[in-house]
Structure 1
Amino acid sequence: MFNLFLALLIIFALFCLVARLLHRYFIYVPDRTRIDPREAGLTGVEEIVFKAHDGKRLVAWCRPAEKGKRTLLYFPGNSGNVAARAGKIKAIAADGYGVFIVNYRGYGGSGSRPTEKRLVKDAVSAFDTLRGLGVPPRDVIVYGESLGTGVAAQVCLQREAEALVLESPFTSVVDVGKRGWPLLPLKQIMVDQYRTIDCICSVTVPVFIVHGGRDSVIPLDMARRVFHEANEPKTMTVVPRAG
């Protein structure tokens, strides 16, 4: 009986070890295809290539804001590339706002491989690149979508912006993962955890949260917990029928 228990323990330990080595393949689902904004049906949007802190090449799309409008420094979700957000870019641009949307490492022509530490440092480099294009901090809205909310919140701890927008935020990637793998010690397995619940209380700019009432991936309760921990001024909107 003891030998069986020991064998099961070893198998479980090996499974956890493999999970630690491979967990980023589940977090990041990139489309590596580099697409020109015009191929995605966008006008007035140009590709910007800038260097990360370690010299790696990163690809972003930029659409200047109209006079009197702010610019969204946009960090997307974990899948696809920025071309998959072409419809959202059109909607934002239609209201005159500017967009600077970043292809993470390994996405859309950007080099290297993604990790949480790298992506947050890259996001700060993107902020500085946008500043270099002449956009002052008072005109920058840091905008995160899903995985990007974990990036955006950390950027606001390192750079001064006008506000933070979180679309479908989670408390942490660990909490999301536990919904599918409740028995695994994910907090010990996962290196990249994006613990927004721990950092949002240190964000001092106004926060706006939007979440779908029928989101089956990131529960609405997670967004509410992030909202509860955020400082004032803050606003949260729930779209009841949205996923």
Structure 2
Amino acid sequence: MRKQLLGWAALPVLGYAGICAWLFAKQRELIYLPQDTRVDAAQTDFALEREGVRLHGWVVNPAQHEPVIYFGGNAERVENRREQLGRVLPGRSIYLIAYRGYGASDGAPSEAALFADALAVYDEVQSRHPGEAISVIGSSLGSGVASYVASKRPVARLVLVAPFDSLASVAQSHYRIFPVRWIVKDRFESAGYLRGYQGPVMVIRAGRDQVIPAASTGRLISALGRPPEVIELPKADHNTIGTDPGFEQALAQFML
């Protein structure tokens, strides 16, 4: 009877360990959501090959100057930003690139791959606009990519939309009873990357963000080497922040 009771008592522990193992094994499937972003490559007008992987995207106002690179959010179809960004920033060339595994881009996403791809995109844009200042916009997951780029390349102006201090801390807030902070491999430690960045930064945050905890964005703001301009959109949530009336006005003014 005692052995049977001990066996029953061990079941919750084994179940908990099993869920942790499942989270570890499936984490990239849980982090990256490219399924609804796929498009045919023929619909794109920008391509860049890196180590056998072909990245695709779009260029708005290609003949303009002072380019802007846009890194989108998870599950975001970045081509849907073309009209808005072209209208808000008519005097700039705008590059919107789908991450590997997203849109028409080849490959499978990971933090290391997205970071290396982002630097390659930056370098390609720089080669197309020699001597011109490059600004970067990153939204949600893209804020993590943009933060890394700003730590490795000259970024004239940096816009972070619904950003976080680290993906590990965001994941922990959603899976509170599991040690996901220690499980997550793709950590996107934005706060660490931006501590030494001294360029102008604008943080746009949603008052009703249901994905990125306010505390996570607050820790990022506190970690910045230079105090950012912070735009609060109290009525916006994570999915509507880009359509809030204050978003376009703030972006246009910051990019002047």
- Measure the CA separation in 1 of the matches of 2:168 and 2:7: 32
SS at match of 1:70: strand
1:33 and 2:27 correspond: no
Task: Pick one of 21, 24, 44 that aligns with 2:28.
Answer: 24
Runs of 4+ in 1 over 6 A off after TM superposition: none
Closer/same/farther in 2, CA of residues 133 and 112 from structure 1, 3 Å limit: same
SS at match of 1:169: coil
* Structure 2 unpaired stretches of 5+: 238-256
- The answer as to whether partners of 2:139 and 2:163 remain within 8 angstroms in 1 is yes
1:82 and 2:78 correspond: yes
Closer/same/farther in 2, CA of residues 176 and 170 from structure 1, 3 Å limit: same
**What's the C-alpha RMSD, in Å, of the aligned pairs?**
2.1
- Measure the CA separation in 1 of the matches of 2:12 and 2:27: 22
1:220 corresponds in structure 2 to 214
* Structure 1 unpaired stretches of 5+: 38-45
- The answer as to whether partners of 2:197 and 2:226 remain within 8 angstroms in 1 is no
Closer/same/farther in 2, CA of residues 224 and 16 from structure 1, 3 Å limit: same
- Measure the CA separation in 1 of the matches of 2:199 and 2:6: 57
- Measure the CA separation in 2 of the matches of 1:11 and 1:196: 33
The CA deviation at 1:87 is 3.9
1:143 corresponds in structure 2 to 137
The CA deviation at 1:12 is 1.8
The CA deviation at 1:194 is 1.1
Closer/same/farther in 2, CA of residues 222 and 91 from structure 1, 3 Å limit: farther
- The answer as to whether partners of 1:168 and 1:211 remain within 8 angstroms in 2 is yes
**Aligned residue pairs, count:** 231
What do the CA deviations read for 1:28-86 (whole angstroms, capped 9, x no partner)? Answer: 1112223666xxxxxxxx7111112x23100021124665x522111000103322323
Alignment of 1:106-121 (within 5 A): 106-121=101-116
1:129 and 2:124 correspond: yes
* Identity, % of aligned positions: 27
TM-score, length of structure 1 as denominator length = 0.86
1:174 corresponds in structure 2 to 168
1:158 and 2:152 correspond: yes
